Structure 1
Amino acid sequence: MPLRILVVARWYPSHEVPGRGSFVADQVEALARAGAGVAVICPEPAYAEGLDGPHRAARLARIGRWAAVIGARLAFATPAGRGAPGAPVLRIPAPLPAGGDATRDPLTLADLEAAALVPVGVALHAAWPFDVIHAHTGLPDGLAAGALADALGVPLLTTEHDSSTPCRLKDPAMAAAYRGLMRPGRAVVAVSRALAGKIAERLGPDAGRIPVVPNVLPVDTFRIHPDADRDPNELLWVGTRKESKGSDTLLRAFALLHGERPAVRLRLIGRASSEADEARLVAFAGALGIADAVRFEPPTDRAGVAEAMARAALFIHPSPWETFGIVAAEALAMGLPVVATPSGGVEEIVGHDGQFGAIARDHDPASLAEAVAAALDRRSAFEPAALRASVAGRFAPGVVAADLLARFRALGAVAAGDGADLPTGDAVQLPVVVIVGFRRASAIARIPALPAGLAAGVAVVTSAPIHPLTGQPSGDPTPPLGVLDWTDVDVGRVFRARLAALGEAPPRNRGGWRSLRHPLRAFRRRRLWAAQGDLFAEERRRAVGQALARVRTSATPGPAAAPGPVMLLPLDADDLETIEPILADGDIVLAPGTLGWLVDRWESQPR
């Protein structure tokens, strides 16, 4: 009987970031092909104020009630073209403090994530008894998954990918929590010896050796292409364009190389962290005198990457540190030699013996340029079949899946279910959806990423680009186009009108004197300020109610093919405060998932 595996990973491909966590999806697909039953829960950030103050308990209780709705429905989806094919995924809220140091504290994030993960996971286990939990990254997903493992008494394996983990483990509290992932019935594996060594060093000798289970290489996607199809002067890099990934070093190294070999060209596929960073790198290439020899191209899918690798002469990997470096393995699988800086995981993939490329002697541009030049000089000596074999034997899906399954069983995982698949309900049509997101910046940033067909059938309610207290313009005034209904709510409208009726607020340095002269007015003003939050909340609920009325009477259908209840979907955890009182209407339901869930379900529907 096959094992049932619950994968917990916030790094998983989504409609907003399709490439994020592709290595997790690769392992999910490999395990499914090996016969295991696999379901994925993906925690998605949901911002909330007051998670570290006196209102923490009330806010977490709201998250718990949302999680109860999600657990009651278990509306998994199998979106086509993203993530592991056919693998059911459910995106749940992971409360995230809306600012402050707690945002960066993995222990806090783990506790907040567990507030939704545990009730949803317990409900899932009752419907589909999984035998083991596989978390990706220890901080915070592994720790949150540990709370679920404790609640159910099931084994937990955590695969560590995160390059920041060794640094975080300098904190004694984080190191102590991380050691909890290694107690009986649990284990941690790392994707490379380099990462495993750094973690073990931080945890001390009592932690023992950290085993290595690498990422999966989809060998069927990356196949050998004949050298005759390659451009002998084209160098290729695929990845995020930022200084911490070695982009500046690469451009400097290429400038040195181009000065000696004017025919060489550099092709960069990926994106910078921002438009400003992209402009800086393009300008930097111009300042180095290589603008005409460098092509900055946007990200592409794996088929596009494979096509680029099929024509390049060398793949260049300039990153100073990588926990694994899957693109280097993909290049070798296509018979493309790799030149890299000393970077941990990539060194393990390429090796130092020169058979499969070259590792620069240092991280500086001159060392990288020297290694690239040497590899170009002996380009014809590389044997494509040997390059491919070097990675296929270590990272092929079947190899990695067999290793993982053996480790699950070693932890005590025993197949106990009936072997039935988890029902996804993909064929169930979505009702009309109203997205409630009063953090305007989130709405403006995230709604345009919705598929056009979905956006045309949803309504959005958000804050107006007006400061609620002053009435002055604030925020992006331009709403995205293409949605069924868009409502900008001036939440401070009533408050400002009532404040104006009481007269202009006195200057602080004369407030005491004026309070003595007008005690009743001062009392009313103080009472109004005390009621400010309630007035704002009332305006939000009123606007959502009006949006509900409009979509119910609209001639334009929503995502649903037939009329039915209206679904309210909170964009952030804060928005639950507005939504919950409205749910008393029996014709209104709370979405059993996040915005990412909505897209997954819409893409899973037959149309």
Structure 2
Amino acid sequence: MHTSPLAQPGTGDAGGMNVYVLEAAKRLARRGVAVDIFTRRTSAADAPVVEVEPGVIVRHIAAGPYEGLDKEDLPGQLCAFAAGMMRVAAHAPEGHYDLVHSHYWLSGQVGWLAADRWDVPLVHTMHTMARVKNLHRAEGDAEEPRGREIGEAQVVEAADRLVANTPDEARELIDLYGADADRVDVVTPGVDLDVFRPGDRHVARRSVGVPEDAVLLLFVGRIQPLKAPDVLLRAAGNLVRRNPSLRSRLVVGILGGASGSAVRSPMALERLAEDEGIADLVRFVPPTDRETLATWMRAADVVAVPSHNESFGLVAVEAQACGAVVVATHVGGLPTAVGDAGVLVDGHDPHVWADAIEGVIDDPVRAAELSRRAVEHAAHFSWEATAERLAAVYDAALAAPLRASINDSDVLTGIPTAVIP
């Protein structure tokens, strides 16, 4: 509901979940599972219906003004969004939809209503959770609201199956939300191995305008405290102070757009680069298409993923598929995404991060071995495998009796008024 799978990842609220929904849908369709994706219309230019490929249709639903609504404002549009979905379904044959798979808690609330109305199973993927984010909140990030926690708990209770990206996320659903372990399935996201693949680093560097002898450190993602691009800048400043001769070769690439609280202070990273004395070494690159993104990853010595929390960390696997050495925080789903083919760092101390990065760029033999292992590790993640596992989850949901109806008195209590006026 809060972001379209057709949006450019890396800015606003568009990120790994957008990629997940679109890529999984395409692979499901190729397996014979037709997919309608309902998303909120955010521009007058959005066509009501977009056929991405045979079997995958994106339907833009009018729910509130096209522009000017933050994600925090969207609970008030749940009813409008649900009504738009019901209008579409009213024109379809009876029993047209076999199952609802909702992504993120806002969509989970609407998916709960739709699944009950259509008398079909509800499968839900959280992607991120309020209680987890609040446990790992970055400095400058607001605490996730109590209303979101309540909404997530309701969806966990209502869903017939819950899909977790990693075993860690499955444990969080069980431990923090009381999910029934028998209803939780682990399905790791995939990577497009045709796009994200190894290649000649020198060719890649010429393509993105980076000197062949440079030391290129790369951050890819939305610019917000949760993703912690500041950690890479502080670590880079530390590296230059340790080894002044590095200044002539160091390039720090920041690929992404402002998101979340960073929208209110768009120049914060530029000011930090100045404070660290590396403003002349940093390149800020707006979100780009996937082919160009893969080229940047092939060009990099290190791709840093310093997030405070990630349900999976898709960018880490995409970078590894390109042969990049990934240095990532040891948190959330990143240990699963990175495995032993990268470097995991405890915490966000820039000195520790500088040590970890230095251990890669100063040791070409180790870097080459990590690059080789990265490609092997990433090869285990494909969208085809993700779709196959999702299809098995759908089969399990369809084979089991449906859970409690939204009309049951014990479930009705506490339903947000935007859904049940």
**TM bucket, shorter chain:** 0.7 to 0.9
> Corresponding residue for 1:436?
none
Output the CA distance in 2 between the equivalents of 1:158 and 1:78: 24
* Amino acid of the structure 2 residue aligned with 1:204: G
Output the CA distance in 1 between the equivalents of 2:73 and 2:182: 28
Output the CA distance in 2 between the equivalents of 1:344 and 1:251: 22
> Corresponding residue for 1:282?
270
2:170 to 174, 182, 196: 196
* Amino acid of the structure 1 residue aligned with 2:29: A
Output the CA distance in 2 between the equivalents of 1:348 and 1:387: 12
> Corresponding residue for 2:215?
233
* Amino acid of the structure 1 residue aligned with 2:98: D
1:38 to 31, 35, 38: 35
1:249 to 231, 250, 256: 231
> Corresponding residue for 2:209?
none
Output the CA distance in 2 between the equivalents of 1:403 and 1:345: 18
Output the CA distance in 1 between the equivalents of 2:313 and 2:183: 22
In the TM superposition, residue 77 of structure 1 has moved relative to its aligned partner by 2.2
CA gap of 1:312–1:409, structure 2 versus 1, over 3 A, is: same
In the TM superposition, residue 27 of structure 1 has moved relative to its aligned partner by 1.0
1:134 and 2:112 are equivalent in the alignment: no
CA gap of 1:103–1:359, structure 2 versus 1, over 3 A, is: closer
Output the CA distance in 2 between the equivalents of 1:266 and 1:373: 14
Output the CA distance in 1 between the equivalents of 2:263 and 2:73: 24
In the TM superposition, residue 40 of structure 1 has moved relative to its aligned partner by 1.6
Output the CA distance in 2 between the equivalents of 1:249 and 1:102: 26
Output the CA distance in 2 between the equivalents of 1:12 and 1:315: 24
Output the CA distance in 1 between the equivalents of 2:292 and 2:265: 23
1:145 and 2:142 are equivalent in the alignment: no
1:90 and 2:67 are equivalent in the alignment: no
In the TM superposition, residue 268 of structure 1 has moved relative to its aligned partner by 1.1
CA gap of 1:142–1:123, structure 2 versus 1, over 3 A, is: farther
1:77 to 45, 50, 63: 50
Is the contact between residue 39 and residue 60 of structure 2 (CA under 8 Å) also seen in structure 1?
A: yes
In the TM superposition, residue 210 of structure 1 has moved relative to its aligned partner by 3.1
> Corresponding residue for 1:406?
392
> Corresponding residue for 2:374?
387
What stretches of structure 2 of length at least 5 have no aligned partner? 135-143, 206-211, 401-421
CA gap of 1:275–1:146, structure 2 versus 1, over 3 A, is: closer
> Corresponding residue for 2:409?
none
> Corresponding residue for 1:501?
none
> C-alpha offsets along residues 493-537 of structure 1, whole Å, 9 cap, x if unaligned?
xxxxxxxxxxxxxxxxxxxxxxxxxxxxxxxxxxxxxxxxxxxxx
Aligned-residue Cα RMSD (Å) equals 3.4
In the TM superposition, residue 228 of structure 1 has moved relative to its aligned partner by 5.7
> Corresponding residue for 1:179?
156
Secondary structure, aligned partner of 1:94: coil
In the TM superposition, residue 115 of structure 1 has moved relative to its aligned partner by 2.6
Output the CA distance in 2 between the equivalents of 1:365 and 1:110: 41
> C-alpha offsets along residues 378-400 of structure 1, whole Å, 9 cap, x if unaligned?
3433254431221221x202111
Output the CA distance in 2 between the equivalents of 1:205 and 1:159: 13
CA gap of 1:124–1:214, structure 2 versus 1, over 3 A, is: farther
> Corresponding residue for 1:26?
23
Secondary structure, aligned partner of 1:77: strand
1:378 to 363, 367, 377: 363
Output the CA distance in 1 between the equivalents of 2:3 and 2:371: 36
Moved more, 271-280 or 20-29: 271-280
2:5 to 12, 17, 32: 12
> C-alpha offsets along residues 19-50 of structure 1, whole Å, 9 cap, x if unaligned?
5512211111121222322222213369xxxx
* Amino acid of the structure 2 residue aligned with 1:321: N
Secondary structure, aligned partner of 1:411: helix
Output the CA distance in 2 between the equivalents of 1:103 and 1:125: 35
> C-alpha offsets along residues 452-472 of structure 1, whole Å, 9 cap, x if unaligned?
xxxxxxxxxxxxxxxxxxxxx
Secondary structure, aligned partner of 2:107: helix
1:363 to 322, 327, 348: 348
CA gap of 1:125–1:22, structure 2 versus 1, over 3 A, is: farther
CA gap of 1:372–1:88, structure 2 versus 1, over 3 A, is: same
Is the contact between residue 41 and residue 62 of structure 2 (CA under 8 Å) also seen in structure 1?
A: yes
In the TM superposition, residue 276 of structure 1 has moved relative to its aligned partner by 6.4
Normalized against structure 2, the TM-score is what? Answer: 0.76
CA gap of 1:234–1:43, structure 2 versus 1, over 3 A, is: same
Output the CA distance in 2 between the equivalents of 1:100 and 1:40: 21
In the TM superposition, residue 368 of structure 1 has moved relative to its aligned partner by 1.1
Structure of greater Rg: 1
Is the contact between residue 117 and residue 145 of structure 1 (CA under 8 Å) also seen in structure 2?
A: no
Is the contact between residue 50 and residue 58 of structure 2 (CA under 8 Å) also seen in structure 1?
A: yes
Normalized against structure 1, the TM-score is what? Answer: 0.54
Output the CA distance in 2 between the equivalents of 1:237 and 1:307: 13
> Corresponding residue for 2:139?
none
> Corresponding residue for 1:325?
313
Is the contact between residue 166 and residue 336 of structure 2 (CA under 8 Å) also seen in structure 1?
A: yes
> C-alpha offsets along residues 187-224 of structure 1, whole Å, 9 cap, x if unaligned?
11122333333232222265667322122211110111
**Aligned pairs, how many?**
366
In the TM superposition, residue 325 of structure 1 has moved relative to its aligned partner by 1.3
> Corresponding residue for 2:198?
224
CA gap of 1:169–1:159, structure 2 versus 1, over 3 A, is: farther
